Amino acid sequence: MNTVVPLEIERLSRLSTDILTKHGFSDQHATAIAKIITTCQIDDCHSHGLFRLLMCCETMKAGKIDGQALPVLHATEGAVTRIDARQGMSLLAFEAGLPRLIDNTRKHGIAALAINRCFHFSALWPEVEQLSSIGLAAMAMVPSHSWVAPAGGKRGTLGTNPLAFSWPRSGRNPFTFDFATSGFARGEIELYLRAGKPLPEGVAVDKDGYPTTDPQAALDGAMLTFGGYKGSALSIMIELLAGPLIDDLTSMESMKFAEGMGGAPYHGELILAFDPDHFSGGQTARNDARAERLFADIVDQGARLPSQRRFDARARNIARGYVEVPAALFEDLKTLQNGG
């Protein structure tokens, strides 16, 4: 039976920073990572919440990450900001590059932040929502490791390559989606494995290329993209834009860099931001109202907007003051907290 234990929200951040600093992350990195992990766990994003502390520690044990690295911003006058994470985790680099991305977006109407040479384990929605919370629309994308077969193939070439988008809505939660371009995120398959549950059909093939619902066989074989050739093309686009375009690694190259060691993939990240005031010819309010009519027509027919489950979970968890964590994961986290 998959039992869960309650964990007070006020303990989440401390538990995460304790584990991260004990495993070699500087206070600055630990704080940046814990912030995202806590944010995800409060929203019941289980595949990229506390569970990802295991991947962070595994990454440190693999030996290539620099847990102390301070990101360096490249000097530039243009709309493209480049920041070198210097083989640290991506999140501190995102924090360091964000103010310049915002300034550039306000100045030029559209701007980009390219993070290079980062280890990356996290969900992207907390990043794009930092931009939509100040009235900007935003997209973010990353490659990962080459676990995913292209449509028509049976060998891992592409990453799980998430794409996130957030649209600001005055006085309401933003319109946000954030999904892996594989049918399932790798983290989700790992959670199925831990829970002893079979996968749905269509998520993966085994190492011989046959369809499988066995999570371990899926991890050993190849994952599939969502939406057949359409998800496959989107995934390839992410490889290109967050890889060669920004002078960084593809998922195949990230896999090679890892040399079979576990942990988070190593590559770049691309974040794009748009200022509606520049694009809508001074008619932002009128166009926001048109966007709201679009959302209303979706919700009115009984469909839900992406992220609504998350916003509901946030409200519920904050109101009761605790999140629910699988008991087995909580035991693993206690072991890590004790230095294991």
User: How many Cβ atoms from other residues are within 10 Å of residue 61's Cβ?
Assistant: 13
How near is the Cβ of 232 to ligand NDP at its closest, in Å? 15
Site for ligand PYC in 101-140 (CB under 6 A): 121
Q: How far is the CB of 29 from ligand PYC (least distance, A)?
A: 16
Q: Which whole-number Å values give the CA distances from 227 to 144, 186, 212, 307, 313, in the listed order?
A: 19, 17, 17, 20, 27
- Binding residue for ligand NDP (CB under 6 A) from 66, 178, 239, 332? 178
Say whether residue 180 binds ligand PYC (CB under 6 A).
yes
Burial class (CB in 10 A: 0-12, 13-18, 19+), 177: middle
Over the window 201 to 240, marking each residue x when it contacts ligand PYC by CB under 6 A and - when it does not, the resulting string is ----------------------------------------
- Positions of E strands within the chain: 4-8, 72-73, 80-89, 110-119, 137-141, 148-149, 163-167, 175-179, 204-205, 211-212, 222-224, 266-274, 322-326
248 binds ligand NDP (CB under 6 A): no
Considering only 5-13, 59-67, 105-113, 184-192, which stretch makes contact with ligand PYC by CB under 6 A?
184-192
Q: How many CB atoms lie within 10 A of CB 279?
A: 13
243, interface contact from ligand PYC, ligand NDP, none, CB < 5-8 Å by kind: none
Q: Centre a 10 Å sphere on the Cβ of residue 219 and count the other Cβ atoms it contains.
A: 18
Residue 125 binds which of ligand PYC, ligand NDP, none (CB < 5-8 A, kind-dependent): ligand NDP
What residues contact 121, with CB distance under 8 A and at least 6 apart? Answer: 48, 52, 55, 56, 59, 89, 264
Structure tokens at 51: 């569970």
Give the single-character DSSP code of 183: S
130 binds ligand NDP (CB under 6 A): no
Site string for ligand PYC, 26-55 (x = CB under 6 A): ---------------------x--------
Q: Considering beta carbons, is residue 47 or 212 the nearer one to ligand NDP?
A: 47
Residues 35 to 54 in contact with ligand NDP, rule: CB under 6 A: 45, 47-48
Report phi then psi at 183, rounded to 5: -55, -45
Q: Which stretch binds ligand PYC (CB under 6 A): 63-71, 83-91, 180-188, 304-312?
A: 180-188
The dihedral of CA 93, 245, 275, 144: what is its sign?
A: negative
CB of 293 to ligand PYC, least distance (A): 35
Instruction: Report d(CA 104, CA 93) in Å as an integer.
Output: 17
Q: Which residues are catalytic?
A: 47-48, 188
**Sites of contact with ligand PYC (CB under 6 A):** 47, 121, 144, 160, 180, 185-187, 264-265
